[in-house]
Amino acid sequence: MSVVGFDVGNESCIAAVARQRGIDVVLNDESKRETPAVVFLLPRLTEDIYCDPDPCDGSRRVMLDAATIAGLRPLRLFHETTATALTYGIYKTDLPENDQVNVAFVDVGHASMQVCIAGNKKRQLEILAHSFDWLLAACEKLKKVLSANPKAPLNIECLMDEKDVRGFIKREKFEQINIPILERVKGPLEKALTEEFFGKEPRRTMNASECVARGCALQCAILSPTFKLLEFQCKVPGLMAKLV
């Protein structure tokens, strides 16, 4: 029996498989670690078509149903930041036995930004808080181009009345426009932190593209009787769905 974790993103998907010696990211037919998503903006699409008082919960059920139809047996559905926190905590060897180390995980993605606060002890993880905010999807493409070029093409399809907009934008102008958006990062972060304060510079040592899939594969390995792992507690109240 294979134990696999999937990170279903807005533009691409990553799959990681649990093996006896660790977690490996699966290569596709083109030997690439990322595979383009079949449906663009799939997570956002499920929220739009599933009219529910709790759209974040409706989207979960749609994803679980889709996995079942595809012939998979989903064990658990994770938030991206929760999976990242698990990847961080299970490999961290210098965590204390009793004292809890609180870590903030920030995920600035293609269409949204998430923040979670995780309490870490040796072989134990507890999600203390979680918050999110929507971002503009078009900014992601511009960000990638402008990181290496002084200007980039700006193309927005069907902006209004089925009319497209095309033009160029300079890096300086882009940074100026994004100041209000970047300020919005403070809101979810402060909300998730509540009264906690870390006073440390953020670290970027984890592989941002693969840590979610690896965390999902790790959680499946913990739940599966096929694998023998060190005892590790993962407490995620209200942030996951389990299919029995």
User: Residue 40 has what pLDDT?
Assistant: 63
Model pLDDT for residues 77-135, shown as the tens digit of each residue: 888 888 889 888 888 888 888 888 888 887 766 666 788 888 999 888 888 887 776 67
Q: Mean pLDDT: which of 129-143, 209-223, 230-244 is highest?
A: 209-223
Looking at the structure, tell me whether residues 41 and 147 fall in a common domain. Answer: no
Q: Is residue 211 situated within a structural domain?
A: yes
Looking at the structure, tell me whether residues 117 and 210 fall in a common domain. Answer: yes
Residue 127 belongs to domain with CATH number = 3.30.420.40
Q: Is residue 242 situated within a structural domain?
A: no
Looking at the structure, tell me whether residues 43 and 163 fall in a common domain. Answer: no
Domain that holds residue 177: 138-182
Q: In the predicted model, is pLDDT for residue 16 greater than 90? A: yes
Looking at the structure, tell me whether residues 56 and 149 fall in a common domain. Answer: no
User: Residue 15 has what pLDDT?
Assistant: 92
User: Residue 239 has what pLDDT?
Assistant: 43
Taking residues 140-158, what's their average pLDDT?
A: 75
Helical segments of the chain, H only: 42-49, 55-69, 80-91, 138-146, 171-177, 179-183, 186-193, 211-223
User: 39 pairs with which residues across the strands?
Assistant: none
Q: Which residue has the higher pLDDT, 65 or 142?
A: 65
Taking residues 213-240, what's their average pLDDT?
A: 77
Q: Is residue 243 situated within a structural domain?
A: no
Taking residues 128-149, what's their average pLDDT?
A: 72
Residue 25 parent element (H or E): strand 22-25
Q: Is residue 240 situated within a structural domain?
A: no
Give the rounded percent of residues in the chain with a pLDDT score beyond 70: 71
User: Residue 17 has what pLDDT?
Assistant: 92
Taking residues 12-31, what's their average pLDDT?
A: 87
Residue 169 belongs to domain with CATH number = 3.90.640.10
User: Residue 53 has what pLDDT?
Assistant: 47
Q: Which residue has the higher pLDDT, 2 or 33?
A: 33
Exposed/middle/buried for residue 40 (C-beta within 10 Å: 0-12, 13-18, 19+): exposed
User: Residue 139 has what pLDDT?
Assistant: 63
pTM summary value: 0.64
Looking at the structure, tell me whether residues 207 and 143 fall in a common domain. Answer: no
Looking at the structure, tell me whether residues 51 and 92 fall in a common domain. Answer: yes
Exposed/middle/buried for residue 208 (C-beta within 10 Å: 0-12, 13-18, 19+): exposed
| Contact yes or no for 24/5 (Cβ under 8 A) | no
Looking at the structure, tell me whether residues 167 and 189 fall in a common domain. Answer: no
Q: In the predicted model, is pLDDT for residue 137 greater than 60? A: no
Q: Is residue 66 situated within a structural domain?
A: yes
Q: How many domains does the chain have?
A: 2
Looking at the structure, tell me whether residues 24 and 82 fall in a common domain. Answer: yes
Q: Is residue 244 situated within a structural domain?
A: no
Alpha carbon distance 167, 104 (integer Å): 38
Q: In the predicted model, is pLDDT for residue 55 greater than 60? A: no
